[in-house]
Chains A and B, each alone.
Chain A
């Protein structure tokens, strides 16, 4: 099915136009992050790269202790992604390979309910719980409450249901127990799904704002999203946009790299499920 020449040209123009419009805010932010304070205040605004790039990124880095913020965000994002993958794979394994054990349906619904209870619905009691546990300003508060994942459980359950029974039978014939089958067969087969889930959960966790805002209040436990707010709020008079944008760009680079590296797994993991 070829397209007419006119249509092809139209499609290219429409795509390039949309991409430029969508990218424009970030391109402009990048430009501003290379200028001096005075240049960033020019009106009309600057549309070329400036020469102050190193100064701005260093200033943003030092002003909010960016190294620490990046470490905290990376740590909690990786920890939560791995925790969710591990817990949801085990739960999915229980739901697919052990027949109808008593209470199975109840537990299944319990984990699914996670979707109906986003943080704002239980925010005050969950915060008080953190206080009772003495988890305020700790990595525990920033990670453990996020560990359950209905998304992951459903994703892996659906995938496990498509794994041929022969594999399981063969493993049992060889005398392999359930956990050996899980480690040696299911985990290696699930690689694409694990990567897709890692990508989604990493970005989700990296972008968390409200929960870190309320359960941390010391500079060494803050995450990078709150760092952006700190850069913005530090302004007494005119906003120092060049430094703020340097900080903002820094905060968006890690999830962007993860997305670009792993995007194929996302589409594969998802499309594969669609087709089954």
Chain B
């Protein structure tokens, strides 16, 4: 912070996709030795700006200056040669190569024309030790946690470039300790004089780590300000353009009359998961709390038939059903928004419209094709209802932002007129605005009589929409909180194993 020399400057950047102005005369400056946070809602233009700064996109207008000199970036590789490196949310390294290979890929030291593995490994160990990382560099990258992979990616990016480091949602899939570890690394790099551009949707992290913040909204820059002059409400107001405080406290959720039992699971079990009983009522949200690896995703997969059960019964509206695969689950009126949107959720190359109607089409069978008018109508109706922001519904869904993609998947399940909806981390990797919308949608669906089973690692969020909360620990449902018992503290205690077990 002592050094405020601008390193990377963008002036008057304009980027147009089709009819849509993704960025409209945006200025941005990253100084040496600062962490500059970039904030904005879905579709505000954050990733577009980043892609321009790193060379992945070329702007229609405006210029980039590096150390005061204008530069023209052809592609990210070219950006790298100027010292601009990027680490994305989804680490894009090679998971099945060793840590050291990932660090030095493309510039391996060679000996007699052969890759010198010994030297690479030594260099890699040395490099990572500077990041406080002591791992077996010969092991495959995929064997390590996302946090370690993230640090490896940072180390690689810094090695390759070393002037500007762009961190695109680096903490999205990290736990608290890992986040701190990552922040230590970032602070170290900042002290070395790197300009760090930090994109996240965790406001508390912004305040913890960043020096300045630039806020984008609808492709325009709202403000660039030092963070010590701001508070959270200011930032949210600037991002959303209205006073939307995220409501953490449930109102009148508890104690209301429950509807009839919609789905009941009795003694459902699978190897590695304790058998469980659970009934979800009409108009009820059962929230699931638990740490990663507590078995919460496994329960969801079991319910939906992704993994077949070893035993137990499932009834829907009192009728026994057999669910051995997702197709049967869909036939029974179940819907499932999986945790990994990109891998298990969206069909990237298919259109928004097709992504919305696909589950209904699968349920109807291949012979009963929804014609184009039906598809357009359905997609239009649910896109409208969930406020999916897409230029048109024939564009590939992969071009939408994460939040909009999540809404598309939600729309897909609403389209089958579901009786029971399973949501696994529905708000992960989504910015504040869309986050709030999805929480509102969950509440609305509950009010309209749907039975929901929602997994989230954000306690405040679970508390905000759940009628009941199931706590999982060590692949077992260890507690069930109902009514007044629902509170963050109680959940934390249950997760930690200090509360009296509420379930038999």
Instruction: Note whether A and B form a binding pair.
Output: no
Residue ranges of B at the interface with A (Cβ–Cβ < 8 Å): none
